Each structure stands twice: as structure tokens, then as C-alpha cells.
Amino acid sequence: MEFCDGGLESIFGENDSIKLVAFRKIMLGLRSLHSHNLIHRDVKPSNIFLKDGEVRIGDLGLAVDGVEGGGEEEEDGMGTFLYRPKENTVSEKWDVYSAGVVLIEMMSSYGSGMERVVKLTAFKEGNVEEGTDERVKRLALWMTEEEPGDRPSVEEVLTELRESGLVEEGENLEEMKEELGKCRKEVERLRNILDEHGISY
């Protein structure tokens, strides 16, 4: 088992560009899963981890083979309520729906766990928090269309992220974290200089 640096929630307080780069990596992870005919069925922040600036999608306990299980009816209650679509038919669009909810969760603000539930429940009914970037709002609502056939494919989501300007091609979460680390080291160096000269700050 691989040890990770933390869960997706650990970057919820970061700036939007870092969160959107991470979201793009989530979609790349889903593209990889789907290319191996796997449908996750439980995409949510607590199942997404960070390792050295990269994203890892974990907990495949509910995953099914997209060839053997795709198109089949699943029992009600499969997956996690806040992130699961209304349909019981298994397809790649199930994961797209869940990722759309995750996108809104990443880009919203919450004062408490209850507020998060209230806002995500409202979003599933088509209500988006005021002040949300229109491009994020448009993409998230598209990904969570009630009819699976009206949702984009993973590839279309990646294209929209790029063409809308939400994520620049080549942006890398690891590079951003490395730059942040450099800034922190520089701050520490300057603090040491001030300490050596007895200057308070």
C-alpha cells in the first residue's frame, strides 16, 4: 500500500488555480480507469489522495468492470448519496456526475460540515453558490445533467477545462508546490537573518 501526503480536502484552502489543476488530474485518473474498463462509482474527496503533487484515486471497493457491469441496473443506495447520480444504470457517465459534484465542492466555501451538505444538496438540484466562476458553474452543471446522455465524456471535460481557460495546458500541481516550498524556504532564510541582527518582526 502506498502512503500519500494527504487527501484532496488538504488543498481546499488553496487558490483556485491549484485546485483546478488538481481537478484536471482527477479527470486524467478517471480517463485511465475508464481506459481499463473500470467504473469507480464512488468518486468523492475522501477517496482522492495527493502524493508528491500528483493525484491518486483510491478505494476501488465499488468499482465494476465497464464491459461486464456497464449498462446493468444497480441497487438503490450504491455509492455515496451526495455524489451519486439518480440513475441506477452503470456507465462512465456515473463517474462524470460524481466528479462534477466534487468540482463544485472544491470551488465553494463552507463554514461547517452541515453547510457543505446543504450547499451540495442544493447544487444537485441545480442551484450554484453565488459568486462561483461562470465557467466552473457551466461545466459542473453540464457534468451533473440528470440524463447520462446529456453529460460530457471525460475527454470533453478535459477539453472544456483547457478551452475555457480554467486550466492551462502543462500546468502542474507538483511544480506549483515546489515553487511554494521555495518561497517558504526563502521566508525562513530571511527570518534567520533578522533574528541574527536582533530585529523583531
Q: Is 133 a catalytic residue?
A: no
Contact 101, 124 (CB under 8 A): yes
The single residue of 5, 16, 42, 195 carrying the catalytic annotation is 42
**C-alpha grid cell for residue 40?**
469507480
Catalytic residues: 42
